[in-house]
Homo-oligomer: A and B are copies of this chain.
Amino acid sequence: MAMTGKQLFTTLDADGTLTVALEDVTVADPTGNQVLVKMEAAPINPSDLVILVGGADMETADYSPGKFVAKMPEPVNAASSARHGLKLPAGNEGAGTVIAAGDSAAAQALLGQRVACVPGNAYSQYCLADAAMCLPSGDHTAEEGASAFVNPMTALGFVENARADGQKAILHTVGASNLGQMLTRICKEDGLDLVNIVRKSEQADLLRAIGAEHVVDQSRDDFMERLTDAIRDTGAFYGFDPVGGGTLVDTAFKAMERVAVERMSEYSRYGSDQPKRMFIYGLLDTGPTTLTPSYGFGWTLSGWLLLPFLQSAGQETLARMRQRVRDNLTTTFASHYKTRVTLEQMLTKEAVMDYRQMRTGEKYLVTPWA
C-alpha cells in the first residue's frame, strides 16, 4: 500500500542556484514506531524559511508551476556550503491523519487518528512521522493542530529554562509574534512576569488586549527608558530573542545593566555583578549580532534551539509540556493564519514575496490536498 504524493525539495548548488520544486515521491510503508500521515496542514514558520528561501534573491527568481529557481548571493551562499548539492525536504511540522502504522503499540494506537507531527518534510502530501513525537489532536481540525509543536514547545521551553535558572521574569524581544502571544498567555497562567518588546503601537495594543502588562514599543523615543522601567519593575534579567542580527540583544543587556547599576552602592569599573542572560533562538535578521562593551562582564549570550532543549529536558517534563499543549490547543496555544496555500501556490512569486517577510500576524498555512 505504498503511497505516492507530492513533496517539496530544496537544493542549493555550489554556484548559488537555489531550486525549490515539487516532486512525486513514493513513501515507504511505516515500520516499527513510524506512522504514515496524510498531511492536511503545515505552517510556514521562520525556521522553515531558512532552507526554503534563505537569503536568495526572490524578486528576480524564475517561477514556473510547482517550482522556482533563485540566486543565492554571496557571502550567504559560501556560508551555506555545507548544504551544497544536497536535496533537502522542508516543513518542520504539520497535522494530518494517520493512514498506516508500524508494528509498535504506540504507532498502532494512532491509526485513523488526526495527529500533529514533526516529520521534517511536512510540505508533502504523505509523510512518515515518529509516533513518539505525534500529538493526537482529538476533535481538533488539522488547521488547529498544524502548529502544535514548534511555537508551543519553544514558548514552554523558555519558561522551563527560566524556572530551572531560578528566574521569575522573562524578556521577549518580539512580543507580538505568534510565539510571543503564546508566551504572554503562558506567563500569565504561570504567574511569571514578562517584558514584551514590540515594533509598533498596534502590536502593543494587540498584546495588551490579551493581558500583557509590560509592553515596550521600540518605535517610541522613550523606548530605552521604558525598557529600563519594565526591567526594574519585573527583574527580567533573562531574555529570548528571535531576531539575532543587529543591536536588539545589546540594547536588552544595556537596559538590564542600567537597572543593576542603580542598585549598586559603589561604582565598579567592571560593571555590575548582576547576571544578565540572553538567548538568540532565531535569525529574523541574518546580519551580524553586535555587542558593545557597556554592561560589564556579568552577561551570557547563547544560541537556543528547540531540539537540543527537548533532548535535555527529560521525558517527564516533555510529557507534561505535550499534555498542556494538547489541553489548550485552541486557547493558550492557538495560532492564526493569514492565508492558506497549496503546495503549488506556496512556490508562486506572489506567495513567496509575501510570506518571506515574516510579518507579525501574517503566517501562511500550506494545505497539501486543498
User: Which A residues lie at the B interface, using CB under 8 A?
Assistant: 47, 50-51, 79, 82-83, 86, 88, 244-245, 250, 261, 267, 269-270, 273, 280-281, 283, 286, 288-294, 296-305, 307-308
Are A288 and B299 closer than 8 Å at their CB atoms?
no
The residues of B that contact A270 with a CB separation of less than 8 Å are 305, 307
Smallest CB separation, A128 vs chain B (Å): 16
Name 24 interchain pairs, CB-CB below 8 A, sorted by A: A50-B269, A82-B267, A83-B269, A86-B267, A273-B308, A281-B297, A286-B293, A288-B290, A288-B291, A288-B292, A289-B291, A289-B292, A289-B293, A290-B290, A290-B291, A296-B303, A296-B305, A297-B303, A297-B304, A298-B305, A299-B303, A300-B300, A300-B303, A301-B301
Across the interface, name the chain B residue whose C-beta is closest to A250: B288
Which of B269, B273, B296, B303 is close to A51, meaning CB atoms less than 8 Å apart? B269
Smallest CB separation, A119 vs chain B (Å): 15
Across the interface, name the chain B residue whose C-beta is closest to A50: B269
Number of copies: 2
The residues of B that contact A250 with a CB separation of less than 8 Å are 288
Are A290 and B293 closer than 8 Å at their CB atoms?
no
Known A244-B293, A297-B308; further 14 A-B contacts with Cβ < 8 A: A82-B267, A83-B267, A83-B269, A88-B267, A88-B269, A250-B288, A288-B290, A288-B293, A289-B293, A296-B305, A300-B301, A300-B303, A301-B301, A301-B302
Are B86 and A294 closer than 8 Å at their CB atoms?
no
The residues of B that contact A261 with a CB separation of less than 8 Å are 82
The residues of B that contact A50 with a CB separation of less than 8 Å are 269
Q: By CB atoms of chain B within 10 A, which of A267, A273, A296, A297 has the most?
A: A297
Across the interface, name the chain B residue whose C-beta is closest to A51: B269
Across the interface, name the chain B residue whose C-beta is closest to A254: B79
Across the interface, name the chain B residue whose C-beta is closest to A244: B293
Across the interface, name the chain B residue whose C-beta is closest to A298: B303
The residues of B that contact A244 with a CB separation of less than 8 Å are 293
The residues of B that contact A86 with a CB separation of less than 8 Å are 267
Across the interface, name the chain B residue whose C-beta is closest to A309: B297
Are B88 and A294 closer than 8 Å at their CB atoms?
no
The residues of B that contact A303 with a CB separation of less than 8 Å are 296-300
Smallest CB separation, A295 vs chain B (Å): 8
Smallest CB separation, A239 vs chain B (Å): 15
**How many angstroms from the CA of A83 to the CA of B307 in the assembled complex?**
44
The residues of B that contact A51 with a CB separation of less than 8 Å are 269
Across the interface, name the chain B residue whose C-beta is closest to A266: B86
**How many angstroms from the CA of A50 to the CA of B268 in the assembled complex?**
11
**How many angstroms from the CA of A307 to the CA of B268 in the assembled complex?**
12
**How many angstroms from the CA of A292 to the CA of B270 in the assembled complex?**
26
Which of B245, B281, B302 is close to A300, meaning CB atoms less than 8 Å apart? B302
**How many angstroms from the CA of A288 to the CA of B51 in the assembled complex?**
30
**How many angstroms from the CA of A244 to the CA of B271 in the assembled complex?**
15
**How many angstroms from the CA of A289 to the CA of B353 in the assembled complex?**
33
Smallest CB separation, A47 vs chain B (Å): 8
